[in-house]
């Protein structure tokens, strides 16, 4: 990854960029035809799970807040987490990349390095892509995978079940709050924002343990539980005392004047998984109960409506 130097995308050109980046991605046994043809061919067993995500400069990341390796991790994590949230495991990604002509090639090579590291965590690889010049850096990441079980949708939650999560919530939001105010610490939350630590294996484990509904927390815990509630036709209540408020979140909360539990309830992009299980089910390792499913609609916190936005949205 030392090639590139001070070259820009305009210097290297479309095909030069593709050649330079493609070598970052190691083939896996599932890749029957890799990049460099009209389409890739991936071995499958059973139905293919597909999810696509956009990561847009200044909307989802800033080049002065995240280095390209981090952006590569985050862009891959968002799509890999979607496959995990169906109870599946990703096998391949395709990536559409756009950047301005004066973008350094080295930036893109480091981005590819981050993507390669993140997809390797689940045994997947990047099998193809497309590049174009654009005004702002854009990444369109599509992941494919398969599930050993029936895929777990958002629509299966039933009254009386418990709501549980795996992974961290609130950390990325706390990191973003810090960066937005021009700071770089506490380092743990800034790192969490830059590079989410996604509990990929928890998805298939939850599916095997009988999870009835599942989602990845990308918009915010309340917003995403709201998607489960709406799709399942149920109400969900979160017990705020069950959420671990880690020390760095306390520190950021008091520094910026925000109740730290708000980070956990409304912060997205940690890509925790949230799922519902029968009340008497043994939760798999790494999962902890944080609430209850009931008859009705909507999401409450400790039995009350929660004030303020439940998560972020676009075009707002």
Strand partners, 132: 98
Nearer CB in complex with a second copy: 130/259: 130
Binding window for a second copy (CB under 8 A); candidates: 152-160, 176-184, 233-241, 278-286 = 152-160
DSSP 104: B
| Given 3, 19, 27, 133, the residue binding a second copy (CB under 8 A) | 133
**Could you give the angle at which helices 9-22 and 105-120 cross, rounded to 10 degrees?**
20
Report d(CA 16, CA 278) in Å as an integer.
Answer: 53
CB 97 → a second copy: shortest distance, Å? 8
Is the peptide bond preceding residue 186 cis, with omega within 30 degrees of 0?
A: yes
H-helix or E-strand spanning residue 190: helix 187-194
- In this chain, which stretch among 127-135, 178-186, 240-248, 275-283 interacts with a second copy, using CB under 8 A? 127-135
- Indicate whether 127 belongs to the interface with a second copy (CB under 8 A): yes
- Closest separation between CB of residue 214 and a second copy, Å? 8
Say if CB 16 and CB 116 are below 8 A apart: no
Q: Show contacts with a second copy in window 82-101 (CB under 8 A).
A: 82-83, 85-86, 88, 92, 94-98, 101
42 near a second copy, judged by CB under 8 A: yes
Sheet holding 298-301, edge to edge: 213-217, 272-277, 162-166, 287-294, 235-238, 298-301
Q: Among residue numbers 50 through 69, which ones bind a second copy (CB under 8 A)? A: 50-54, 56, 59-60
Which range binds a second copy by CB under 8 A, 113-121, 148-156, 243-251, 292-300?
A: 148-156
- Which stretch, 45-53, 68-76, 262-270, 296-304, contacts a second copy (CB under 8 A)? 45-53
- Residue 124: helix, strand or coil by DSSP? coil
Question: Which is nearer to a second copy, 43 or 282 (by Cβ)?
Answer: 43
Q: Within a 10 A sphere around the Cβ of 208, how many other Cβ atoms?
A: 13
Using rule CB under 8 A, residue 304 touches a second copy:
no
Q: Which residue, 47 or 303, is less far from a second copy as judged by CB?
A: 47
Under the binding rule (CB under 8 A), the answer on residue 41 touching a second copy is yes
Which residues within the stretch 164-203 sit at the binding site for a second copy (CB under 8 A)?
none
**213 touches 155 (CB < 8 A):** yes
| Closest CB to a second copy among residues 37, 280 | 37
The DSSP letter of residue 277 is E
Q: How many residues make up the chain in this entry?
A: 316
Q: How far is the CB of 302 from a second copy (least distance, A)?
A: 26
CB 152 within 8 Å of CB 214: yes
Applying the rule CB under 8 A, the residues between 246 and 275 that interact with a second copy are: none
CA nearest neighbour of 53 among 153, 152, 143, 154: 143
Map residues 203-232 to x or -, x wherever contact with a second copy holds by CB under 8 A. Answer: -----------xxx--------------x-
């Amino acid at each position: 990854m030392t090639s590139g130097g001070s070259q820009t995308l305009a210097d290297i050109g479309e095909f030069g960029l593709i050649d330079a980046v493609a070598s970052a991605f190691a083939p896996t046994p599932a890749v029957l035809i890799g990049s460099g043809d009209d389409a890739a061919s991936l071995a499958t067993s059973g139905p293919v799970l597909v999810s696509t995500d956009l990561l847009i400069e200044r909307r989802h990341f800033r080049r002065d807040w995240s280095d390209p390796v981090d952006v590569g991790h985050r862009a891959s994590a968002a799509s890999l987490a979607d496959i995990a949230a169906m109870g599946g495991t990703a096998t391949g990604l395709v990536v559409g990349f756009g950047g301005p002509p004066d973008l350094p090639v080295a930036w893109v090579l480091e981005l590819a390095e981050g993507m390669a590291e993140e997809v390797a965590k689940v045994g997947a690889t990047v099998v193809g892509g497309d590049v174009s010049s654009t005004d702002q850096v854009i990444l369109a990441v599509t992941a494919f995978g398969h599930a050993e079980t029936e895929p777990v949708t958002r629509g299966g939650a039933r009254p009386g079940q418990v709501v549980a999560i795996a992974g961290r919530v609130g950390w990325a939001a706390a990191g973003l709050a810090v960066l937005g105010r021009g700071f770089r610490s506490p380092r743990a939350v800034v790192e969490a924002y830059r590079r989410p630590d996604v509990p990929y294996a928890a998805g298939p484990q939850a599916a095997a343990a009988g999870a009835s509904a599942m989602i990845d927390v990308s918009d915010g815990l309340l917003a995403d539980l709201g998607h489960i509630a709406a799709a399942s036709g149920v109400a969900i209540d979160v017990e705020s005392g069950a959420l671990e408020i880690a020390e760095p979140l306390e520190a950021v909360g008091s520094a910026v004047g925000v109740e730290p539990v708000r980070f956990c309830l409304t912060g997205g992009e940690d890509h925790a998984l949230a799922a519902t299980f029968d009340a008497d089910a043994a939760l798999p390792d790494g999962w902890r109960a944080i609430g209850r499913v009931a008859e009705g609609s909507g999401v409450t916190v400790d039995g009350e409506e929660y004030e303020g936005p439940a998560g972020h949205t676009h075009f707002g």
